[in-house]
Amino acid sequence: MIPVTGSFTINASGGNNRKCDVAIANHPFKDDDVVRFETSVKKVKFFSGNYLVLNINSNTIGLKDFPNEALNFNNKSISINDIDGNTGQCTVTLQQLRLPASKEISPEIQSLEPSAIIELFKLTFDKDVNGQTIPPYYYHAGTNELKGKIIFDGITYEPVPVKVEGFDKTTKGTLPRPKFTVANTNNAISALLILYNPLKAEVLRIQTCKKFLDKENFTSGVNSTADPTAIFEVDDRWYVDRIAIENPNAVVFELSGKISLTNLKLPQRKFRESKVKV
C-alpha cells in the first residue's frame, strides 16, 4: 500500500459528516474508499486513523465521520471546533485497494494488446506462528499455459498444479476471501498438514506481465523490457485463514487479507459492518 502526501484543512462545519479536507493533486481515491489518515501536526495527530472517503473533486477528498469528540492534548480538552481552520501536511493510504507499484504497468494493462499476465506466489511459514522455519515456497499456477519454471527478479518460481481464484476486489460488498486448491494425490497434502500448521501462513501474490520477466525466460537470452519493479500491486499479501475442504482429491485453503473492516475501531468510535461499503 502506497502512502500519498497531501495537505489537510480542518473544516469543522463541513457537510456530509466531513470535517477534514485533504488536497491531493489528481488523487486516485473514490467515494467510500477506506483510507488511513496520518499527520505529525500535534493538535491533529490524535485524530489519525481510518476513514471513509468523500470524493469532492479531482484534487480534494473529504474524510467522512471525522470525530467531533473532545480529546486530551497537553492536559487540555480539545474538540474539532478548537482546531477549526488548522492546516498541515499529511499522508493518506488506501487500505482495501492498492496503487500500481510501477509506472510501467498502467500503460501496459491499458494497451490494446497487453502482454500476458503472470501470477507468482511466495508461501512463507513463520516459526512463531506456524511452528516451523522452512525456506519459502516460490511457485506459479501455470496461468497463460506457462508450464515451465519462471524467473522473476532473480527468483525461480516452480510450476505447481494448483487453482487460484477469488482475488478480484471491489469497493462494494465484503472483502475478498480467495481460495487456492491443491491436488491431494496419495494424500500428500494431508500428510504435510500433519507436519506443518498452515494457518496464518503468508501468501505473497505478485502479478506482472510476460514482457517484464528476466531474460533467462527467453530462448534468446535477451529481454530489454525486463523490470522487477513492474508489478500490479505493492504488498499484495494474504494469509491462510482456514482449510475449507480436505478430501482424497484436493485440499482447498481459504485466504483472508491483513485487515478485517468488521469491528475495526476508528478514532472515538467503532466501525460497524453495516456502515462499511468496500
On whether the CB atoms of residues 23 and 88 are closer than 8 A, the answer is no
Tell me: the pLDDT tens digits for 124-176? 877 666 666 677 888 887 776 677 899 999 999 988 878 888 876 655 556 77
Between residues 77 and 50, the one the model is more confident about: 50
Q: Pull the grid cell for residue 256.
A: 483472508
pLDDT value for 269: 42
Residue-level length of the chain: 278
pLDDT of residue 44: 87
What was the pLDDT predicted at 79?
83
Q: Helices in the chain by DSSP H: which ranges? A: 42-45, 105-109, 127-130, 188-195
End-to-end Cα, the chain, rounded Å: 16
Q: How far apart are CA 166 and CA 24, in angstroms?
A: 32
- Classify residue 140 as left (phi > 0), alpha (psi -120 to 50) or beta: beta
* Least confidently predicted of 13-22, 23-32, 161-170, 253-262: 253-262
C-alpha cell at 147: 508450464
User: What number is the average pLDDT over the span 76-99?
Assistant: 81
Rounded CA gap, 48 and 88, in Å?
Answer: 13
**DSSP label of 211:** G
Half-sphere exposure (CA, 13 Å, Cβ side) for 142?
A: 9
Domains (range + CATH), the chain: 3-96 (2.40.30), 105-256 (no CATH)
What percent of the chain shows pLDDT beyond 70? 76
Question: Which helix (DSSP H) or strand (DSSP E) does residue 186 occupy?
Answer: none
